[in-house]
Amino acid sequence: MDLLRPSLYQELTSHPERLGEIISFEKKSFKLFIIDEIQSIPILMNEIHRQIELNKEIRFILTGSSARKLKRSGSNLLGGRLSRFYFHPLAFPEYTTSKNAVAWERVINVGSLPAILESE
């Protein structure tokens, strides 16, 4: 679920409990739910907590660019139910591919997504 999608963002901002309805419908097929940009709707953490308590088989991957925003908002940080993983920026040696090394100029011009760096 991409919370940058305006329709989804508006729906879940106005009715956070809707997340539970979506999960109840989808859990027949899925046990893992990925929510991107979770910091944009901190109140969803309460609904995620509720869903974890209702169904121990459900797992969530919550991604975002600002953990500070969640902490400052005083949102539910899922005490005892949360594992954090930090993804640090790539170092220049990591920009090398099996074909050749990538020049800094190319990284600056096109970005650092591997598929783009390796394309012609």
| Selected residue with higher pLDDT from 90 and 99 | 90
C-alpha span between 101 and 95 (Å, rounded):
7
Output the average pLDDT for the chain.
77
C-alpha span between 37 and 64 (Å, rounded):
4
Question: What per-residue confidence (pLDDT) applies to 90?
Answer: 63
Whether residue 78 sits in one domain with residue 29: yes
Whether residue 96 sits in one domain with residue 71: no
Whether residue 99 sits in one domain with residue 59: no
Whether residue 78 sits in one domain with residue 22: yes
Burial of 96 (0-12, 13-18, 19+ CB in 10 A): exposed
Whether residue 62 sits in one domain with residue 35: yes
Whether residue 80 sits in one domain with residue 43: yes
Structural domain span for residue 5: 1-87
Whether residue 98 sits in one domain with residue 80: no
pLDDT in tens, 37-60: 888 888 898 898 888 888 888 888
Kindly give, in sequence order, each residue whose CB lies less than 8 Å from that of residue 51, ignoring residues fewer than 6 positions away: 19, 20, 23, 58, 60
Integer angstrom CA distances of residue 77 from 22, 61, 71, 82, 98:
21, 13, 8, 7, 41
Whether residue 104 sits in one domain with residue 47: no
Question: What per-residue confidence (pLDDT) applies to 19?
Answer: 93
Whether residue 52 sits in one domain with residue 9: yes
Q: Which stretch of DSSP H or E encloses residue 69? A: helix 67-73
C-alpha span between 31 and 119 (Å, rounded):
35
In degrees and rounded to multiples of 5, residue 26 shows phi and psi of -85, -20
Whether residue 93 sits in one domain with residue 81: no
Whether residue 98 sits in one domain with residue 76: no
Whether residue 37 sits in one domain with residue 1: yes
Tally of domains within the chain: 2
